[in-house]
């Protein structure tokens, strides 16, 4: 590695630490101004039926997300049993949300799928497919919502309400372009920096859109049932979609502070601060922390099954570790 590249990596690492320290300082400063007693009272006031509904929505969302890997099973042409595929996907999703997509979503998939006997090329296709599924579904749902004109950002927000429909239309155009590309280039191998991939077939691409868009809608539904009366579902959905991009850019594990900042900026004029924070804390408990505890136990079970034995790689038919099929 050249000296300039090492120096650049060192600067980036220092900048990241400075950024995280600044975020931590701002969070601590903000936390001192919060009426935590009222936040606690709001949390204690949740009805059991509301919490039960929140848990049910969480389970439905995780089950739907596990179907990403089931669809990737078809895309990558491997023969692992569907229950095991869904277990790996669920564990990876919980860790991805809490520790980051690179370590959680990709890292745990590579480890667990390799222990299950899949070849590296097959696992790479699975990871690429699940990541693309998540974001093409995001583009579809966010594009439709923003293009509808039903999201009204605050006056001080960088993107005005008049520009949001244009942003939504651009997102929908990107989705349409993806589908057209899947149709026109089906079966063609692309080579990018030593990596080889193919786009999925149109039916599989449509499945990607349906799965991910529904999953994003379920995540917003979970937040919506935890919010106080008077907040619309479309407002919660819009705030969640904006927060998702902000968290992805910030690269902060679990989006700590980012989710709260976006919701307060977009919905702070509609929801009192203590009730807003109570809803977000309950959301994190249901969607992040609870599943993480279960995922840790699930990961231990999956690891114990391969301990003491090694399985030969199960390559996809005709898989050479690099080529992809749809």
With respect to residue 249, please indicate whether it lies within any of the assigned structural domains.
yes
Contacts of 59 (CB under 8 A, 6+ apart): none
| DSSP, residue by residue, 175-192 | HHHHHHHHHHSTT--EEE
Does 75 reside within a domain?
Answer: yes
The verdict on pTM exceeding 0.75 is yes
Residue 51 exposed, middle or buried by CB count within 10 Å (0-12, 13-18, 19+): middle
Lowest-confidence region among 43-57, 60-74, 148-162: 148-162
Q: In the structure, what pLDDT confidence band is assigned to residue 324 with cuts at 50, 70 and 90? A: very low
Establish if 10 belongs to a structural domain.
no
Q: What's the pLDDT score for residue 205? A: 96
Distance in angstroms (rounded) separating the CA atoms of residues 90 and 94: 6
Please check the confidence at residue 201 and state whether its pLDDT lies above 90: yes
In a domain, 32, yes or no: no
Number of domains comprising the chain: 1
Domain contains 214? yes
| Residue 8, domain member (yes or no) | no
In a domain, 133, yes or no: yes
Mean of per-residue pLDDT scores for the chain: 82
Query: What per-residue confidence (pLDDT) applies to 224?
Result: 96
Domain, as residue range, for 283: 40-306
Q: Looking at the domain assignment, is residue 311 inside a domain?
A: no
The Cβ-side half-sphere exposure at 18, using a 13 Å CA radius, reads 6
Residues 259-289 have pLDDT tens digits of 888 888 888 878 888 888 889 989 999 999 8
Pairing of β 190-192 and β 195-197: antiparallel
Rg (CA), the chain: 21
Residue from 231, 230, 275 nearest 34 by CA: 275
Percent of the chain with pLDDT over 70: 75
């Amino acid at each position: 590695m050249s000296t300039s590249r090492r120096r650049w990596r060192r600067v980036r690492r220092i900048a990241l630490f400075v950024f995280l320290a600044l975020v931590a300082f701002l969070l601590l400063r903000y936390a001192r101004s919060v009426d935590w007693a009222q936040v606690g009272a709001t949390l204690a006031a949740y009805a059991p039926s509301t919490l039960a509904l929140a848990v049910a929505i969480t389970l439905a969302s995780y089950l739907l997300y596990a179907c990403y890997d089931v669809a990737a099973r078809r895309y990558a042409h491997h023969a692992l049993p569907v229950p095991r595929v869904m277990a790996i996907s669920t564990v990876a999703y919980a860790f991805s949300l809490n520790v980051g997509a690179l370590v959680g979503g990709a890292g745990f998939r590579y480890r667990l799928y390799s222990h299950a006997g899949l070849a590296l090329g097959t696992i790479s296709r699975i990871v690429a497919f699940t990541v693309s599924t998540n974001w093409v579904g995001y583009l579809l749902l966010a594009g439709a919502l923003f293009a509808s004109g039903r999201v009204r950002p605050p006056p001080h927000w960088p993107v005005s309400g008049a520009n949001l429909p244009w942003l939504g239309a651009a997102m929908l155009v990107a989705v349409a372009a993806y589908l057209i590309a899947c149709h026109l280039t089906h079966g063609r191998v692309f080579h990018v920096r030593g990596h080889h991939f193919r786009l999925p077939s149109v039916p599989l691409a449509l499945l990607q859109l349906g799965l991910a868009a529904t999953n994003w809608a379920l995540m917003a539904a979970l937040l919506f049932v935890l919010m106080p009366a008077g907040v619309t579902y479309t407002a919660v959905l819009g705030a969640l979609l904006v927060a998702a991009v902000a968290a992805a850019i910030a690269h902060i594990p679990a989006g700590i502070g980012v989710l709260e900042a976006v919701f307060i900026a977009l919905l702070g004029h509609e929801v009192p601060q203590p009730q807003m924070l109570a809803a977000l804390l309950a959301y994190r408990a249901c969607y992040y922390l609870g599943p993480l505890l279960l995922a840790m136990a699930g990961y231990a079970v999956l690891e114990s099954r391969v301990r003491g034995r090694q399985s030969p790689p199960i390559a996809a038919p005709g898989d050479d570790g690099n080529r992809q099929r749809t």
